[in-house]
Amino acid sequence: MIQIYRDDAILPILDDVASLYGQVFEKETDFFKLRVKNSIDQRKNPVVIGKYRDGILVAGLFGFDFGPDNWWAQQIDAHLPAGKNWYANSFELNELFVAKDCQSQGLGKVLLQELHQLVAPKNILLSTCEENSRAIKLYKHLGYRVFSDKFDFPGKEELYLLMVREGIHDEDSRKN
């Protein structure tokens, strides 16, 4: 079962989402929770999409409207392709995570397709570690393209790809 949560409706499930995030990325969850709460407080139209099996969250996605005041946007602004006002109609995909024992079962694809339906015709922007070949393959399969590579975020050792899925009306994306 897929569930979509927006704005304040995210708060009751935030602990479960953060717990899965922490398990998948082997990270502390406080900063993740803070980012989600800030996106709600700052009215950035946050979205969490969860995939459940037998009532248990097994995959999640989090993001919000792309805006010039967002930390990530400030980092990548100079790398955005010219000729478009990216801040007028874009969504920032922050996190996509699938329980380790559920990976390679198409759950990330299902969540992304649900997001495509939800935010169409917005552009979707994301970054992913250059070494994450499985994620890159998935994103490219779903129509994302790299617009900057070897991106270096402050304080990170890894290099990242910046990717976009140009806004389109996406009625058949679930059929892929």
102 CB-contact burial (10 Å; exposed 0-12 / middle 13-18 / buried 19+): middle
Residue 92 has a pLDDT of 97
Q: Which residues of 121-160 are buried (b: 16+ CB within 10 A; e: fewer)?
A: ebbbbbbbeeeeeebbebbeebbbeeebeebeeeeeeeeb
* Minimum mean pLDDT range among 52-56, 107-111, 153-157: 153-157
CATH of range 2-175; options 3.40.630.30, 3.90.1170.20, 3.40.50.720, 3.40.50.1820: 3.40.630.30
Q: What is the mean pLDDT of the chain?
A: 93
Q: Does the pLDDT at position 17 exceed 50?
A: yes
**pLDDT band at residue 59 using 50, 70 and 90 as cut-offs:** very high
> What's the pLDDT at 88?
93
8 Å CB contact between 86 and 66? yes
According to the model, what pLDDT value does residue 156 have? Answer: 87
Q: What is the mean pLDDT of residues 95-124?
A: 96
pLDDT above 90 covers a percentage of the chain that reads 91
The structural domains of the chain, with segments of one domain joined by +, span 2-175
Cβ-based neighbours of 138, under 8 Å, separated by 6 or more: 108, 109, 112
Say what the pLDDT of residue 167 is.
87
Contact in structure between 56 and 37 (CB atoms under 8 Å): no
Is residue 172 scored above 80 in pLDDT? no
**Confidence (pLDDT) at 154:** 87
Q: Is the pLDDT of residue 174 over 70?
A: no
> For 117-151, what is each residue's pLDDT tens digit?
999 999 999 999 999 999 999 999 999 999 999 99
Residue 15: other Cβ atoms inside 10 A:
10
Question: Which of the four pLDDT bands, split at 50, 70 and 90, describes residue 2?
Answer: very high
